[in-house]
């Protein structure tokens, strides 16, 4: 995925790119910036750390992704309730838009999650590689901002501090009133941090 990101940037002829990734996207962004440093000027990782995906968590995620891949809904009520349970602090309109965007209607009229759950479940065990990711961070030359949610279950405050320390040009920030899905919980705050970091 990191190679794909770099290939898109190259194909579009983009310059002065600030690469931003959240969760799985942040893992891909780390790989992209590390393997293709010439393509990116700055990097922002949002709520992921090299140790975030343990073997145990990967197993849980595979089970969850498998169940998501098999799920089908008659309307929005059930998927909204499911996502609300795991994301209680997101504002209702933002959460509804988030869930609605992630669903697609099948030929039978039922709503299903539009992402490749089976493909992600198959790839998940390969994400358990903290040693590689710490090495990548230590070799990423671009200025990098590490963002964590105050209530994150994926990145501890110590993790964020250590990431900023290991990065040759790293800093970190913590967003109050946010957990892992801060893009739907505190989108304005996330945008402010990114824009300020990018000098925009």
- pLDDT score for 170: 98
Is pTM, for the whole model, over 0.75? yes
Q: How far apart are CA 128 and CA 146, in angstroms?
A: 20
59-78: pLDDT as tens digits: 999 999 999 999 999 999 99
DSSP conformation letters of 127-139: G--HHHHHHHHHH
Instruction: Reduce the DSSP state of residue 71 to 3 states and report it.
Output: coil
Q: Residue 35 contacts by C-beta under 8 Å, 6 or more apart in sequence?
A: 2, 3, 6
- pLDDT score for 5: 97
- pLDDT score for 27: 94
- pLDDT score for 124: 86
Cβ atoms of residues 148 and 160 within 8 Å: yes
Sign of CA dihedral 156, 2, 98, 42: positive
- pLDDT score for 34: 97
Which positions of the chain have pLDDT values less than 50? none
Q: How far apart are CA 147 and CA 144, in angstroms?
A: 10
- pLDDT score for 126: 83
Q: What are the structural domains of the chain?
A: 2-53+129-198 (3.40.50.1820), 55-122 (no CATH)
- pLDDT score for 87: 87
- pLDDT score for 158: 97
Q: How far is CA 37 from CA 6, 66, 192, in A?
A: 9, 35, 25
- pLDDT score for 127: 82
Strands 18-22 and 42-46: parallel
19-62: pLDDT as tens digits: 999 999 999 999 999 999 999 999 999 999 999 988 898 999 99
């Amino acid at each position: 995925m990191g190679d794909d990101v770099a290939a898109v940037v190259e194909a579009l002829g983009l310059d002065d790119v600030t690469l931003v990734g959240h969760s799985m996207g942040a893992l891909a962004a780390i790989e992209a910036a590390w393997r293709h440093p010439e393509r990116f000027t700055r990097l922002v990782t949002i709520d992921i750390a090299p140790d975030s995906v343990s073997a145990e968590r990967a197993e849980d995620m595979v089970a969850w992704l498998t169940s998501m891949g098999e799920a089908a809904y008659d309307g929005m009520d059930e998927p909204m309730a499911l996502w609300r349970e795991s994301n209680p602090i997101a504002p209702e309109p933002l959460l509804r838009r988030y869930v609605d965007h992630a669903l697609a209607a099948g030929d039978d009229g039922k709503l299903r999650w539009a992402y490749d759950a089976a493909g992600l479940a198959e790839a998940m065990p390969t994400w358990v590689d903290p040693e590689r990711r710490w090495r990548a961070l230590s070799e990423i030359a671009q200025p990098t901002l590490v963002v964590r949610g105050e209530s994150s279950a994926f990145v501890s405050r110590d993790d964020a501090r250590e990431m900023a320390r290991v990065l040759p040009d790293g800093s970190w920030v913590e967003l109050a009133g946010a957990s892992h899905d801060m893009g739907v919980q505190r989108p304005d705050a996330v945008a402010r941090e990114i824009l300020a970091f990018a000098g925009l």
